Structure 1
Amino acid sequence: MAAQGGIVFSDAAADTMVLSNDHYAVTLSKVNGGLLSLVDRSAGQNLTSGSRDGCLWGAVFPGSVPDYVGGCSYSRSGGNRFSYTWDDSSATLTLIYTWQAGLAQWIDAVAQLTASTGPYFDLSLTIDNHWATTMQNVIWLSAPVFSDSQVQSAYGPFLMPGVRLRPGFFTGDRTYVPTYPSDAAFADYWALDVAGGHFAMYTINPVPNPVRPVALGFIDDDGHTTDTFYGYHSYHTWVPVGESWSAPQIRVRVGQPVEETILAYREENGIGSYPSLSTKLGTGFQTLARAPLIKADIHIINEPFLDWIPSLERLPSPSLLHPVAYQPGGHDESYPDFLPPEPIWGATTDFRAMVLAAQARGLWVMPYTNPTWWDEESPTIQGMAPLTIEDVALLDEGLQPVYETYGGHGGYVVSPQAPFVQQRLAQLMQQWQTEVPVNCVFEDQIGARGWRRDFNASASDAMAYSDGWLSHVAAYADRCLMTEMGWDRLAEDEIGFHGSLLTWQREFNYATDYWGTGNWEPFPLSVWLYHDKVFTYQHDLSHLTMSTDKEVLLWNMVFGMQLSYNWAWPATDPLGSPWLVVVRALQHVVVSRVAGQPMDSFAHLTGAVTRSDYGAVEVTGNWHATAPYAVGGYQLAPQGFLARVADDTALAGVFAGLFNAHALSSGEHYIIVQRAPNAVTIYHPIGSDTALTVDAPAAWPDGTPLLVRAVRWDGHLLGATASTVQGGAFNVRCTQQSGGESVDHYWVGPALSVYLPLALKSAR
Structure 2
Amino acid sequence: MSYILENGLMKIGNTYYEVALDATHGGIAYILDKSSNKNIVEGDASSNLWSATLDKGDPIVSSSYSEIKPVWDAANGTLTLSYTGAVSVQVTITSSDTPALKLQATVMNKSGANISNFELPDSLKIAEADVDNALIPMMPGAQLSSKFFTDGRTYVNEYPGVMFADYLAVNSKRGRITVYTQKGALLQPSLLGFEHLKDDAGFSKMTHSYRTWIEDTKTWLSPYLVINIGQDYPTTIHNYRSDNQIDKFKSLTEKLGEAAPTYFASPMYKLDIAVLKVKFADISDAIINKLNIPGMIHFVAFQTGGHDHNYPDFIPPDKKWGTTADFAEAVKLIHSRGGLVVPYTNFSWWNNHGPMLAKLPADTPLTSIINIKDSHGLPGFESFGPNSGFVMNIHNKFVQDKITEQHKALLNDVGVDAIFEDQWGARSAPYDFNPSGLDTDDPSTSYFEGVLGHYRDQSNSNLMTEVGVDVLANDGVGFMGTNYLWDMLGYRSATADVTTYYPMAAMLLRDKVLLYQHDLAAEMWTKNKDMLRWNLAQGYGLSNAFLDSSISGLNMDNPWLNLVGVFQKYALSNYADQLATAYDDLGNNVTRTTFSTYTVYSNWDLTHTYTLNGNTLSAGGVVAQANDGSVTAGVFTVFNGSPLSDGDHYLVEVRSPTEIKVFQPVGADMNIHIHKDASWSKVTVTAYGYDGTSLGAVTADVTDDSVKFNYTNTINGRLVGYYQIAPAT
- State if a TM-score over 0.5 links the two structures: yes
For the residue of structure 2 that corresponds to 1:612, the secondary structure is: strand
Q: Number of residue pairs matched?
A: 720
Q: Which residue number in structure 2 is paired with residue 116 of structure 1?
A: 96
Q: Does 1:10 align with 2:4?
A: yes
Q: Does 1:602 align with 2:576?
A: no
Please report how far the alpha carbon of residue 89 of structure 1 lies from its aligned counterpart in structure 2 after TM superposition. Answer: 1.6
CA distance in 2 between counterparts of 1:92 and 1:573 reads 65
Please report how far the alpha carbon of residue 626 of structure 1 lies from its aligned counterpart in structure 2 after TM superposition. Answer: 2.1
Tell whether the 8 Å contact from 1:368 to 1:444 is kept in structure 2 after alignment.
Answer: yes
Among residues 77, 91, 95, which one is paired with 1:91 in the alignment? 77
1:51–1:247 CA distance, 2 compared to 1 (3 A):
farther
Please show how residues 606-621 of structure 1 align to structure 2 within 5 Å: 606-621=587-602
Partner amino acid, structure 2, of 1:499: G
Q: Does 1:466 align with 2:448?
A: yes
Partner amino acid, structure 1, of 2:459: A
CA distance in 2 between counterparts of 1:322 and 1:408 reads 23
Q: Which residue number in structure 2 is paired with residue 48 of structure 1?
A: 41
Among residues 600, 624, 637, which one is paired with 2:605 in the alignment? 624
Please report how far the alpha carbon of residue 565 of structure 1 lies from its aligned counterpart in structure 2 after TM superposition. Answer: 1.6
Structure 1, residues 672-703: CA drift from partner, whole Å, max 9, x if none?
1112222221111222221111121x3x526x
Q: Which residue number in structure 2 is paired with residue 705 of structure 1?
A: 682
Please report how far the alpha carbon of residue 580 of structure 1 lies from its aligned counterpart in structure 2 after TM superposition. Answer: 1.4
CA distance in 1 between counterparts of 2:415 and 2:561 reads 27
Partner amino acid, structure 2, of 1:710: A
Please report how far the alpha carbon of residue 607 of structure 1 lies from its aligned counterpart in structure 2 after TM superposition. Answer: 5.0
CA distance in 2 between counterparts of 1:316 and 1:558 reads 25
Tell whether the 8 Å contact from 2:29 to 2:45 is kept in structure 1 after alignment.
Answer: no
CA distance in 2 between counterparts of 1:143 and 1:336 reads 45
Q: Which residue number in structure 1 is paired with residue 27 of structure 2?
A: 34
Q: Does 1:668 align with 2:648?
A: yes
For the residue of structure 2 that corresponds to 1:283, the secondary structure is: helix
Structure 1, residues 542-574: CA drift from partner, whole Å, max 9, x if none?
111111111111111112211112011587652
Structure 1, residues 451-484: CA drift from partner, whole Å, max 9, x if none?
1111112113312101101111111111211111
Q: Which residue number in structure 2 is paired with residue 4 of structure 1?
A: none
Structure 1, residues 606-647: CA drift from partner, whole Å, max 9, x if none?
151111122211111111222221111111112211111122
Structure 1, residues 54-92: CA drift from partner, whole Å, max 9, x if none?
11100001322xx211111112xxxxx332121222121
CA distance in 2 between counterparts of 1:607 and 1:202 reads 32
Q: Which residue number in structure 2 is paired with residue 411 of structure 1?
A: 389
Tell whether the 8 Å contact from 2:583 to 2:593 is kept in structure 1 after alignment.
Answer: yes
Partner amino acid, structure 2, of 1:21: N
Q: Does 1:553 align with 2:532?
A: yes
For the residue of structure 2 that corresponds to 1:146, the secondary structure is: strand
CA distance in 2 between counterparts of 1:415 and 1:666 reads 58
CA distance in 2 between counterparts of 1:285 and 1:525 reads 23
CA distance in 2 between counterparts of 1:744 and 1:130 reads 72
Please show how residues 217-366 of structure 1 align to structure 2 within 5 Å: 217-221=193-197, 223-310=198-285, 311-366=287-342
1:51–1:301 CA distance, 2 compared to 1 (3 A):
farther
Among residues 445, 464, 476, which one is paired with 1:482 in the alignment? 464
CA distance in 2 between counterparts of 1:347 and 1:587 reads 32
Please report how far the alpha carbon of residue 49 of structure 1 lies from its aligned counterpart in structure 2 after TM superposition. Answer: 1.2
CA distance in 2 between counterparts of 1:88 and 1:384 reads 62
Tell whether the 8 Å contact from 1:51 to 1:142 is kept in structure 2 after alignment.
Answer: no
Q: Which residue number in structure 1 is paired with residue 634 of structure 2?
A: 653
CA distance in 1 between counterparts of 2:371 and 2:225 reads 30
Q: Which residue number in structure 1 is paired with residue 62 of structure 2?
A: 71
CA distance in 2 between counterparts of 1:241 and 1:124 reads 20
Q: Which residue number in structure 1 is paired with residue 14 of structure 2?
A: 21
Among residues 453, 456, 459, which one is paired with 2:434 in the alignment? 456
Partner amino acid, structure 1, of 2:199: H
CA distance in 2 between counterparts of 1:526 and 1:68 reads 35
Please report how far the alpha carbon of residue 742 of structure 1 lies from its aligned counterpart in structure 2 after TM superposition. Answer: 2.9
Partner amino acid, structure 1, of 2:72: W
CA distance in 2 between counterparts of 1:482 and 1:416 reads 17
Partner amino acid, structure 1, of 2:247: G
1:260–1:343 CA distance, 2 compared to 1 (3 A):
same
CA distance in 2 between counterparts of 1:52 and 1:325 reads 59
Tell whether the 8 Å contact from 1:481 to 1:496 is kept in structure 2 after alignment.
Answer: yes
For the residue of structure 1 that corresponds to 2:451, the secondary structure is: helix
Tell whether the 8 Å contact from 1:17 to 1:27 is kept in structure 2 after alignment.
Answer: yes
CA distance in 2 between counterparts of 1:495 and 1:165 reads 29
Q: Which residue number in structure 2 is paired with residue 717 of structure 1?
A: 694
Q: Does 1:59 align with 2:46?
A: no
CA distance in 2 between counterparts of 1:89 and 1:678 reads 64
1:731–1:715 CA distance, 2 compared to 1 (3 A):
same
CA distance in 1 between counterparts of 2:37 and 2:702 reads 59
Unaligned runs of 5+ in 2: none
Q: Quick check: 711-720 or 626-635, which moved more?
A: 711-720
Among residues 653, 662, 673, which one is paired with 1:693 in the alignment? 673
For the residue of structure 1 that corresponds to 2:648, the secondary structure is: strand
1:330–1:598 CA distance, 2 compared to 1 (3 A):
same
Please show how residues 471-510 of structure 1 align to structure 2 within 5 Å: 471-506=453-488, 508-510=489-491
The percent identity for this pair of structures is 32
Q: Does 1:180 align with 2:159?
A: yes
Tell whether the 8 Å contact from 1:719 to 1:739 is kept in structure 2 after alignment.
Answer: no
CA distance in 1 between counterparts of 2:133 and 2:552 reads 47
1:51–1:122 CA distance, 2 compared to 1 (3 A):
farther
Tell whether the 8 Å contact from 2:292 to 2:691 is kept in structure 1 after alignment.
Answer: no
Please report how far the alpha carbon of residue 271 of structure 1 lies from its aligned counterpart in structure 2 after TM superposition. Answer: 0.2
CA RMSD, aligned part only? Answer: 1.6
Structure 1, residues 503-538: CA drift from partner, whole Å, max 9, x if none?
2222x1344x12252x22101111111011001000
CA distance in 2 between counterparts of 1:621 and 1:478 reads 37
Partner amino acid, structure 2, of 1:354: A
CA distance in 2 between counterparts of 1:749 and 1:644 reads 21
Q: Which residue number in structure 2 is paired with residue 737 of structure 1?
A: 714
For the residue of structure 2 that corresponds to 1:281, the secondary structure is: helix
Tell whether the 8 Å contact from 2:623 to 2:633 is kept in structure 1 after alignment.
Answer: yes
CA distance in 2 between counterparts of 1:241 and 1:438 reads 49
Q: Which residue number in structure 2 is paired with residue 141 of structure 1?
A: 121
Tell whether the 8 Å contact from 1:681 to 1:747 is kept in structure 2 after alignment.
Answer: yes
Q: Which residue number in structure 2 is paired with residue 760 of structure 1?
A: none
Q: Which residue number in structure 2 is paired with residue 534 of structure 1?
A: 513
For the residue of structure 1 that corresponds to 2:152, the secondary structure is: coil
Partner amino acid, structure 1, of 2:437: A
Tell whether the 8 Å contact from 1:19 to 1:27 is kept in structure 2 after alignment.
Answer: yes
Q: Quick check: 233-242 or 647-656, which moved more?
A: 647-656
1:516–1:352 CA distance, 2 compared to 1 (3 A):
closer
CA distance in 1 between counterparts of 2:97 and 2:725 reads 60
1:51–1:654 CA distance, 2 compared to 1 (3 A):
farther
Among residues 358, 369, 373, which one is paired with 1:396 in the alignment? 373
CA distance in 1 between counterparts of 2:71 and 2:18 reads 18
Tell whether the 8 Å contact from 2:293 to 2:566 is kept in structure 1 after alignment.
Answer: no
Partner amino acid, structure 1, of 2:399: V
Please report how far the alpha carbon of residue 329 of structure 1 lies from its aligned counterpart in structure 2 after TM superposition. Answer: 0.8
Q: Structure 2 length normalisation: TM-score? A: 0.96
Q: Structure 1 length normalisation: TM-score? A: 0.92
Q: Which residue number in structure 1 is paired with residue 350 of structure 2?
A: 374
1:180–1:52 CA distance, 2 compared to 1 (3 A):
farther
Please report how far the alpha carbon of residue 244 of structure 1 lies from its aligned counterpart in structure 2 after TM superposition. Answer: 1.2
CA distance in 1 between counterparts of 2:609 and 2:514 reads 30
Partner amino acid, structure 2, of 1:87: D
